[in-house]
Amino acid sequence: MNRFGEMHCSIAQAVGVVAEPWTPLILRDLFLGLRRFDQLSEDLGISRNLLTQRLDRLQAAGVVEKVAYQRRPVRYEYHLTEAGRDIVPALITLMAWGDRWSTPPGGPPALLIHSCGEQFTPTVTCPHCGGPAGADTITMVAGPGAAQGPGTMVLAKPGQ
């Protein structure tokens, strides 16, 4: 766990696990179906020792699992766990932001197809009313676990 993981903030928690350099791209590749160390290494161009370290940390965080796919010699591949698959909505939301604000020449490199059959841009919504949830439609308030500490100046009440 790094220093972000110690902050009393769920964004910092998430960032501490999945926003280290390269990690979001490792997760994307695992989602897209790459499984093997050498595939990830080749696709991303990340140095191999760092890939080892990242996969270890993701495994420790319960986001990725290492599975032996053969014996003699033992060889492993990496899969997303449930927690890992659950990060996909955040990844595609980031992807939509990237498409919108750094328009690549020639159009978006990738598109999303929903199980309903439509190509779509993911939208973050409130499950009660179905309306969009964005900077203009939400308010963040202190929750039951609010505490003082780094990164909590706004929400934590003094003296708590």
Partner DNA sequence: ATAGTCAGTTGATAAAGTGAACCCTTGATA
Partner DNA sequence: TATCAAGGGTTCACTTTATCAACTGACTAT
Q: How many alpha carbons fall within 13 Å on the CB side of residue 19? A: 13
Closer residue to DNA in complex, CB, 108/152 = 152
Check binding of 67 to a copy of itself (CB under 8 A). Answer: no
Q: CA 51, CA 85: separation in Å to the nearest integer?
A: 19
- What are the backbone dihedrals phi and psi of residue 119, each rounded to the nearest 5 degrees, phi first? -80, 140
Binds DNA by CB under 7 A, chosen from 48, 79, 100, 157: 48
Sign of the four-CA dihedral 119, 21, 63, 8: negative
Which of the residues 23 through 52 are near a copy of itself (CB under 8 A)?
24-25, 28-29, 31-34, 39, 42-45
Which of the residues 140 through 159 are near DNA (CB under 7 A)?
none
Output the smallest distance, CB 110 to DNA, in A: 23
Check binding of 72 to DNA (CB under 7 A). Answer: yes
Check binding of 151 to a copy of itself (CB under 8 A). Answer: yes
Contact 77, 34 (CB under 8 A): no
Closer residue to DNA in complex, CB, 73/106 = 73
Structure tokens at 150: 């780094």
Binds DNA by CB under 7 A, chosen from 52, 103, 121, 137: 52
Task: Quote the radius of gyration of the chain (alpha carbons, Å).
Answer: 19
Check binding of 79 to DNA (CB under 7 A). Answer: no
